[in-house]
Amino acid sequence: MSGVSYTKKARKSKKRSTERIITERQKPDNELQHQKTTFQLARTAEHVRLRKSIRLQQKSKKERPVKVPFLPDDIIHNVFEQLPSHSRFNTLLTSRRFCRLMVPILWRAPFITRYHNFIPMETSNLILVYISCLNVSAKLTLKQAGIVLPNSPPPLFQYQYYLKEFSLILFEKMIVDWFVKSQNLGENRKKALYFDNRSSLSESSVKAKIEILLTELSRLLFDSACLKSIKLSLTSRTLFLPEILSFSKFGLISNNVTSLELSTTCLGASDYIKDSTLGLLESLKASFTKLQILDIRCSNAHVPEYLNLIKAQNNLEKLTLRHSRLVNPVLKTLSTLSSTLTWLGFQTLYLKIKSLAILANCQNLETLVFHNIMEFDSEPSACEGTPITQSLSVKKIFIFDDFLDAKLDFKLLFQMTRNSLKELTLEILYSNRIRYILSSIVENTLDLRYLALHVKHSDIEFDKFYNWMKASKLESLVLKSKEYYFGTFVKELSIYFPETLSHLDLEFYITPGQLANFLNRCNHVSFKRIGLNDCRGITDEHLHILMKYAEYYGSLEVVEYDRWPLKYLNKFGRLDMLFGREVSFSKINEEKLKKAGRFIKVIRREGFDPFENLGSAFY
C-alpha cells in the first residue's frame, strides 16, 4: 500500500511539476500576447485621438473667419477720399482706426460751400464743436463778455488741428447762426443779424459779443491749424475783420498757405471795414510770398495793393481775375516779370482781345480760361502798336459762356494761338455764338489734339466742319448735347474721323443700335478708349457691342460710363436732377461685365468731366 501510495504521490507531484513547467513555458507567450494587445489598444486610441484632432482642425477651419489683409493708413486714406460725403460719416462708427483716419478728412474744410451745405450737421453745431476746443481762459473771456456757453463735454479730437481750408465769410455766417440760436435775442435783433440792416447793430452789445467770439475762435484756428487755403471776402455785410496778422502763429501759416482767394467789394461798407481792408492788403504782400494759386476780385480803390501782392509772389502758377480794372495792369505786370504762371482765368468782366498780346512774354503760360466774359473790345487797348498776330505759347483754352447778350469774338485769339494750341474745350449754350466760334476754329486751328464740344445739331456748318475734321490730327474727341437726336449727327460725322483718333467720349444718349451703326461706319479708326456718359446710363446691350468691337479689332482697352451720376453723387452727396431728367446708374449684369473683361482691360465707373475740369476754379 505504501508503494502504491508513493506511486500516486509521485505521479501527482510529477503532474504538478509538469503543469508548473508548462505554465512557466507559456508565461512569456502570455506576456507577449498581453503586450501585443496593449500596443494594439494604444495604437487604436492614438488613431482615434488623431482622427478626432483632424476633425476638430477641419471644423475650426470652416468656422474660422477669413482674415482681412492689413492695409496701410495711406491706402485707406486714399479710399476714403473717393467716398461720397454721405458715406464718409458711416465710417466713423466702423472702428477706431477708421474714425481716426476719417476725422481729418471731414474737418479739413468745414467752411467751404460744397461741404457744409450737404453734410448731416447743422452749421451752428460746427461752431459749438470749436467752442468746446477752446482753453479755459478763452471760455472765461467769452463768459465775462456775457455770452452763454453750453456745458459741452470735452471733444474726442482737437478738430482745429485738421483745418486746411478757411473761408472768412462762411465762418462769420456760421458764428452769427449759432449766436442767434443759442442766445436770448429779441426778434428785431435776429432780423438785423440775418438781413441787410446790420448797420443798426453798430453800437449795440450784440455786435461787440460777436466780435469777441469771432476773435477767439479765429485765434484758435489760426494758432492751431496748418492752413493751405484761405478765402477772405470783405463786403458791406461784413461785421468784423479779426486782426489775423497779430495772431502768434500767423507767420508760420503764411509760409504754408499756397492758395488765396481775396475779394474786397466794400461799396457801402463801414469806415472800419474799409480801413481794416486797406491795412490787411498792405500786410498781405509782406506775409504771403509763396502763393501758387491766387483768385482776386477788388474795388477800383485797391488795384495798387493787388498789383503789389502779385509782384511779391515768386512761384505763382494759377491766377484768376474777376474785375475789369485789374486786367490791363496785371497783364503788364506779368509781362515784365520772370513769371512762373501756367494758368490764367478771366470771369465776368470786360476784356479786350488785343490786351492778351502782352502775354507773349509769359513763356510758361499754357492754359487760358474764359468764364462768362460779358464783352470784348470794351476798354482801351493796353498794348497799342503791338501786332495782333503776336504768338502766344498757350496750349489749352477753355471757354464757358451762358450769357445771352454777351458780345464775343475769339477769332483773333485763335490766330494768336494757332501754332501752339493743342486742347480746346467749348461749353457754349447759344447757337449764334457757337457757330461763329466753330468757323473760327476751322479757319485757324489745324493742329488740335483734344477737342470737347457742347453743341446742338443746328450749330454745325457741316461741309466746313467735316472737311476740317478729316484733315485734323485729333487724338481725343468729346461730344456733348442735350438733343435727343444728336446721335444722327454723330453717325454722319463718324466717316470723317481722322485716323489718329483714339479716344472718343459721347456725352449724350445713344441707343445700342445707333452705337453699333456708329462703330461700323468708322471702321477706319482704332479706338483705344470709349466713354458713354449719359444721365440715363447704359445697358448690357451697349456693353455687348463694345465687347464685340474689342474682340474683333483688338484695340479697345478702356471703357468708361456713368460719369455724370458719380459726379453728382460725390459733389452733392445725393442724386440730383440734370437737364430736367433724373440721374440714374447703369444696370449691367455682373456676368456680362466678367465676360467683357476678357476682351477689355478696364471697364470703370469713373472719370472727370471735361467741361468742368479746366474751369473748376470758378465753381
Query: What is the pLDDT, as a whole number, of residue 424?
Result: 92
- Res 405 pLDDT > 70: no
Q: Which of 429, 430, 479 has its CA nearest to residue 450?
A: 479
DSSP H or E stretch at residue 167? strand 165-167
Q: What is the 8-class DSSP label of residue 512? A: H
Domain limits, the chain: 475-619
Query: What is the pLDDT, as a whole number, of residue 449?
Result: 94
Q: Which residue has the cell 488795384?
A: 303
Spatial distance between the Cα atoms of 527 and 41, rounded to a whole number of angstroms: 76
Query: What is the pLDDT, as a whole number, of residue 619?
Result: 47
Of 56-70, 427-441, 475-489, 518-532, the range with the lowest mean pLDDT is: 56-70
* Average pLDDT of the residues in 227-240: 79
Query: What is the pLDDT, as a whole number, of residue 28?
Result: 52
Spatial distance between the Cα atoms of 491 and 598, rounded to a whole number of angstroms: 28
DSSP E strand stretches across 522-608: 529-532, 558-561, 577-578, 581-582, 602-604
Query: What is the pLDDT, as a whole number, of residue 111?
Result: 77
Calculate the CA 431 to chain-centre distance: 32
**Confidence (pTM):** 0.78
Q: What is the pLDDT of residues 363-391, one digit of tens each?
A: 889 999 998 887 766 344 444 444 455 78
Q: CB–CB of 153/119 below 8 Å?
A: no
Q: CB–CB of 222/187 below 8 Å?
A: no
- Res 582 pLDDT > 70: no
Q: What is the pLDDT of residues 534-548, one digit of tens each?
A: 877 889 999 999 999
- Res 9 pLDDT > 50: yes
Q: Which residue has the cell 491766377?
A: 319
Query: What is the pLDDT, as a whole number, of residue 377?
Result: 60
Spatial distance between the Cα atoms of 270 and 241, rounded to a whole number of angstroms: 12
Spatial distance between the Cα atoms of 520 and 503, rounded to a whole number of angstroms: 16
- Res 501 pLDDT > 70: yes
Confidence tier at 413 by pLDDT (50, 70, 90)? confident
Q: What is the pLDDT of residues 241-293, one digit of tens each?
A: 777 666 766 666 777 888 988 888 766 666 667 777 777 777 777 778 888 99
3-state secondary structure of 571: helix
Query: What is the pLDDT, as a whole number, of residue 38?
Result: 62
Spatial distance between the Cα atoms of 501 and 516, rounded to a whole number of angstroms: 18
* Average pLDDT of the residues in 43-64: 64
- Res 514 pLDDT > 50: yes
Q: Which residues contact 606 (CB under 8 A, 6 or more apart)?
A: 560, 563, 566
* Average pLDDT of the residues in 600-608: 84
Return the bridge partners of 566, or none: none
3-state secondary structure of 217: helix
* Average pLDDT of the residues in 473-483: 88
Tell me the three cell numbers of residue 585: 446708374
Query: What is the pLDDT, as a whole number, of residue 318?
Result: 92
DSSP E strand stretches across 274-359: 293-298, 318-321, 343-347, 350-351
Q: CB–CB of 138/220 below 8 Å?
A: yes
Confidence tier at 530 by pLDDT (50, 70, 90)? very high
From residue 460, alpha-carbon distances to 477, 496, 514, 556 in Å are: 15, 14, 20, 29
Q: Which one is the CATH code of 475-619: 3.10.450, 3.80.10, 2.40.50, 1.10.20?
A: 3.80.10
Q: CB–CB of 353/412 below 8 Å?
A: yes
Q: What is the pLDDT of residues 295-328, one digit of tens each?
A: 988 877 788 888 888 888 888 899 999 888 888 8
Confidence tier at 507 by pLDDT (50, 70, 90)? confident
